[in-house]
Structure 1
Amino acid sequence: MTRKTVRIAMNGVTGRMGYRQHLVRSLLAIREEGGLDLGDGTVLWPEIVLVGRREHALRAMAEKHGLDHWSTDLDAVLADPAVDIYFDAQVTSAREEALRKAIAAGKHIYTEKPTATDLDGALELARLAGAAGIKHGVVQDKLFLPGLLKLKRLIDGGFFGKILSIRGEFGYWVFEGDWQEAQRPSWNYRTEDGGGIVVDMFPHWEYVLHELFGRVTSVQALATTHIPQRWDERSELYEATADDSAYGIFQLESGAVAQINSSWAVRVNRDELVEFQVDGTEGSAVAGLRNCRVQHRSSTPKPVWNPDLPATHAFRDQWQEVPDNGDFGNGFKVQWELFLRHIALDEPYHWDLLAGARGVQLAELGLKSSAEGRRLDVPEVTL
Structure 2
Amino acid sequence: MARRTIGIVLNGVTGRMGYRQHLVRSLLALREQGGLPLADGDRLYPELVLVGRSEAKLREIADRHGLTDWTTDLAAALARPDVDIYFDAQVTAQREKALRLAIDAGKHVYTEKPTAEDLAGAVDLARLADTAGIKHGVVQDKLFLPGMLKLKRLVDGGFFGRILSIRGEFGYWVFEGDWQTAQRPSWNYRSQDGGGIVVDMFPHWHYVLEQIFGEVKAVTARIATHLPARWDESGTAYDATADDAAYGIFELAGGVIAQINSSWAVRVYRDELVEFQVDGTEGSAVAGLRNCRIQHRAATPKPVWNPDLPATEDFRSQWQVVPDNAEFDNGFKAQWELFLRHVVEDTPYTWDLWAGARGVQLAELGLRSAREGRRVEIPELS
Query: Shorter-normalised TM-score: what interval?
Result: over 0.9
| 1:313, distance to aligned residue in structure 2 (A) | 1.3
- The separation in 2 between residues aligned to 1:265 and 1:335, in whole angstroms, is 30
Give the unaligned 5+ runs of structure 1.
none
SS at match of 1:254: helix
What do the CA deviations read for 1:337-365 (whole angstroms, capped 9, x no partner)?
Answer: 00000011000001000000000000000
| 1:209, distance to aligned residue in structure 2 (A) | 0.1
- The separation in 1 between residues aligned to 2:235 and 2:342, in whole angstroms, is 45
Indicate the percent of aligned positions where both proteins have the same amino acid: 75
| 1:80, distance to aligned residue in structure 2 (A) | 1.1
Q: How does 1:24-173 map to 2 (within 5 A)?
A: 24-173=24-173
What is the letter of the counterpart of residue 331 of structure 1?
G
2:200 alignment counterpart? 200
- The separation in 2 between residues aligned to 1:263 and 1:78, in whole angstroms, is 38
- The separation in 2 between residues aligned to 1:39 and 1:373, in whole angstroms, is 52
What do the CA deviations read for 1:83-136 (whole angstroms, capped 9, x no partner)?
Answer: 100000000000000000000000000000000011110000000000000000
SS at match of 2:125: helix
2:19 alignment counterpart? 19
What do the CA deviations read for 1:41-66 (whole angstroms, capped 9, x no partner)?
Answer: 21100000000000000011111111
Q: How does 1:1-383 map to 2 (within 5 A)?
A: 1-382=1-382
SS at match of 1:8: strand
- What is the CA RMSD across the aligned residues, in angstroms? 0.5
- The separation in 1 between residues aligned to 2:291 and 2:75, in whole angstroms, is 44
Aligned residues: 382
- The separation in 2 between residues aligned to 1:381 and 1:54, in whole angstroms, is 38
- The separation in 2 between residues aligned to 1:34 and 1:66, in whole angstroms, is 16
What do the CA deviations read for 1:318-377 (whole angstroms, capped 9, x no partner)?
Answer: 000000001000000000000000011000001000000000000000111001100000
What do the CA deviations read for 1:194-232 (whole angstroms, capped 9, x no partner)?
Answer: 000000000000000000000100000001100000000
- The separation in 1 between residues aligned to 2:37 and 2:312, in whole angstroms, is 54
- The separation in 2 between residues aligned to 1:140 and 1:254, in whole angstroms, is 24
- The separation in 2 between residues aligned to 1:380 and 1:142, in whole angstroms, is 23
- The separation in 2 between residues aligned to 1:350 and 1:293, in whole angstroms, is 28
SS at match of 2:28: helix
| 1:312, distance to aligned residue in structure 2 (A) | 2.1
| 1:183, distance to aligned residue in structure 2 (A) | 0.1
What is the letter of the counterpart of residue 319 of structure 1?
W
- The separation in 2 between residues aligned to 1:187 and 1:86, in whole angstroms, is 24
